[in-house]
Amino acid sequence: MTSPIRERMDSVKTKVWCRYAPPPASAETFLAPVAGSGVLESVEVADGSTPDQGDLKFAGYLVRLDVDR
């Protein structure tokens, strides 16, 4: 039997933005991230109210996650 995994978010490290558009040469009606459009900004904390930046849409945070077994 394995022991349970305990996760703890150590800290927010990066905010992420990107552009979204329909996939190239696709009849799909959804939007997908545009390759090469990502923008990263290092941060120490997140307040949950990160605005978009023009046509760059806030996509989320990259975080460091410590896992204890």
Between 13 and 2, residue with greater pLDDT: 13
3-state helix, strand, coil in the chain (%, to 5): 0, 50, 50
pLDDT level of residue 16 (50, 70, 90 thresholds): very high
- State the pLDDT at residue 25: 76
- State the pLDDT at residue 4: 61
Per-residue pLDDT tens over the stretch 31-65: 999 999 999 999 877 788 899 999 999 999 888 77
pTM over 0.75: no
- State the pLDDT at residue 64: 74
